[in-house]
Amino acid sequence: MAPPQEAGGRQSVKSLLKMLDVLECFSTQDRELTVVEMARRTGMPRTTVHRIVDSLRVLGFLEQEASRERYRLGIKLFELGNTALTNLPLYREARPFVDTLSKMSGEVVHLCVFDGSQMVFVERSEHGSGRPHNTVTTMEATPCHSTGVGKATLAFQDEAVIDRIIRLGLHRFTSETITAPASLREELARIRARGFAVDECEHEPELRCVAAPIRNSTGKVFAAISVSGHTRRVTLNRVADLATLVMSHAQLISIRLGFMPSAASASTGPGASRPD
């Protein structure tokens, strides 16, 4: 038999994992859920979920609707998320480059991190067309297969990661969205070869985006930066110049994070650590 202290530790871990399972039931599509819905999604008994939900509500991780039947993620999670975000080396090191890229391009700039399945916005900066400067930090997530930042990041992941993203489903957002697995793989190969991605109105109509991958100190691609704007401004003739601009800023950010291009591998396969 395990010592009481060890058994208690294992039980605590199990309880924490159950709490995490409940929290992960929520998404940008499923913002409010009932206990019955959470029980169905986690596979746990309704009484167990009710007990966990009550504990999470007391801690501020869940909020209860006035009807007392539905729950949503609590403000405490937002506070913790903002704290984690501001402590990210990427957030601290990239901010000046995001602002400079926005000024130089005159378009909207997005900085995003790959969370394993989606791209999470870290920062958004806008300078252009007479609009006032606007910098917004948000935790919104977007798909990988239909966005510039997503494709720029996904192209350099291991095959297992690419397979998993494809299995999650390639949802169609516009008539230009890539929804065929084979077509997506071909697109990712082109991105690896040239070092940048282009979103040709694939996530939003009349919005073109040029993005490049960002690497950490080990050379792994974990984020991306992009310039995007209406197709009237971000024309096909501008793509090459914007790509050069975006790739140079992505590389500068990578270097600030400890990446050494001269020491990178020359491999061109998925996950390869090579200069962009």
Chain-centre distance of CA 208, in angstroms? 19
Q: What is the CATH number of the domain that holds 166?
A: 3.30.450.40
Q: Is residue 274 part of a domain?
A: no
- Residue ending a domain, choose from 46, 74, 102: 74
The answer to whether 49 and 71 have CB atoms below 8 angstroms apart is no
Q: State the pLDDT at residue 156.
A: 97
Assigned domain for 81 exists: no
- For residue 244, being part of any structural domain is answered with yes
* Residues 188 and 64 occupy one common structural domain: no
User: Same domain for 65 and 104?
Assistant: no
30 and 132 inside one domain: no
Could you tell me if 237 and 168 are in contact, meaning their C-beta atoms sit under 8 angstroms apart?
no
Which segments in the chain show pLDDT lower than 50?
A: 129-138, 266-276
Give yes or no: residues 47 and 130 share one domain.
no
Residue 40 is predicted with a pLDDT of 93
Question: Could you tell me the two tokens for 175?
Answer: 């008539």
Secondary structure tally for the chain: helices H, strands E = 9, 10
Q: Let me know whether 115 and 230 are in one domain.
A: yes
Distance CA 140, CA 118 (A): 10
Q: Find the radius of gyration of the CA atoms of the chain.
A: 21
Query: Is 167 inside any structural domain?
Result: yes
181 and 62 inside one domain? no
- Residue where a domain terminates, one of 47, 74, 101: 74
Picking from 42, 74, 106, the residue at the C-terminal end of a domain is 74
- Beta strands (DSSP E) in 141-206 are 141-142, 197-200
Name the residue range of residue 255's domain. 88-263
Residue 26 lies in a domain: yes
Same domain, residue pair 135 and 238 = yes
Q: What pLDDT is recorded for position 267?
A: 40
132 and 60 in a common domain: no
pTM of the predicted structure, to 2 decimals: 0.70
User: What's the number of domains the chain is made of?
Assistant: 2
54 lies in a domain?
Answer: yes
Q: Provide the pLDDT for residue 270.
A: 47
Amino acid identity at 99:
D
Q: Are residues 108 and 198 in the same domain?
A: yes
